[in-house]
Amino acid sequence: MSNNEVVIIDYGVGNIFSVRQGLEEAGASPIVTSDIKLIQSAKKVVLPGVGAFKNAMNALNALKMKDLLINIANEGVPFLGICLGMQLLFDESDEFGLSKGLGLIPGRVETYPLSIDKNQPIKIPQINWHELIPSEAHIDWKNTLLDNQESNDSVYFVHSFVANPVHKNHKLADYISGGNRISAMVVKENIIGCQFHPEKSGRAGISILKNFMKL
């Protein structure tokens, strides 16, 4: 595979078409596949996802992809989870009963928190544009996927559950909703997750995908 090729995991749960379009706009040559051999040889991997955590993990297990994806990520291949794909990176989720995830980033996926600001009621699912802000870990965005982001850039979210990393240094960016900090982007070495949809977030999102392709 060439440096601009990226494998999009096709497991029947995800916005494959829009993710592929976004990557193409970022200069990538995406390959959408569920073929084990192609995935094993991937130089970069994107795990999309829309829907319920449990259904997504059942789909990965049915295709015998769980251990494969864990091995690829642990080998240092740049690995990007988008929306539900980000949540699957974590140990487990409370959505529709306890379900185990890929366990690549320590933490849990939990119900969207109630507003602590009476002037900011929250609608679930949260379908909105939000500005990204530095996480409490204050990780420098330079040389990350958020390099070149402008202070007023907003990105597009659609989700009902939130990912909570055990370690604050795995949180790259947050957004504020109802007075709460919500994990927007997580990172652990080569493993990266976007709770938002970069492929639907205009210039800011395409910049993030371009930075992913530089890894």
- pLDDT tens, 123-145? 999 999 999 999 998 899 999 99
| Mean pLDDT computed over 105-123 | 91
Is residue 92 annotated as a catalytic residue, yes or no?
no
Amino acid identity, residue 122?
I
| Helix or strand holding residue 38 (H, E) | helix 36-40
Other residues' Cβ atoms within 10 Å of the Cβ of residue 170: 24
Burial of 168 (C-beta count, 10 Å sphere; 0-12/13-18/19+): exposed
The arrangement of strands across the sheet holding 45-47 comes to 29-33, 5-9, 45-47, 79-82, 191-194, 180-188, 171-177, 133-134
What pLDDT was estimated at residue 2? Answer: 67
| Mean pLDDT computed over 192-209 | 97
Is residue 194 annotated as a catalytic residue, yes or no?
no
pLDDT band at 205 (very low <50, low <70, confident <90, very high): very high
| Pairing between β-strand 90-93 and β-strand 105-111 as defined by DSSP bridges | parallel
- pLDDT tens, 54-89? 999 999 999 999 999 999 999 999 999 999 999 999
What pTM, to 2 d.p., does this model score? 0.96
| Mean pLDDT computed over 195-212 | 97
Among residues 130, 159, 170, 197, which one is catalytic?
A: 197
What pLDDT was estimated at residue 151? Answer: 66
Among residues 83, 95, 159, 194, which one is catalytic?
A: 83
- pLDDT tens, 2-21? 679 999 999 998 789 999 99
Among residues 95, 159, 194, 199, which one is catalytic?
A: 199
pLDDT score of 1 more than 70: no
Ordered by where they begin, the domains of the chain are: 5-213 (3.40.50.880)
Is residue 197 annotated as a catalytic residue, yes or no?
yes
pLDDT band at 38 (very low <50, low <70, confident <90, very high): very high
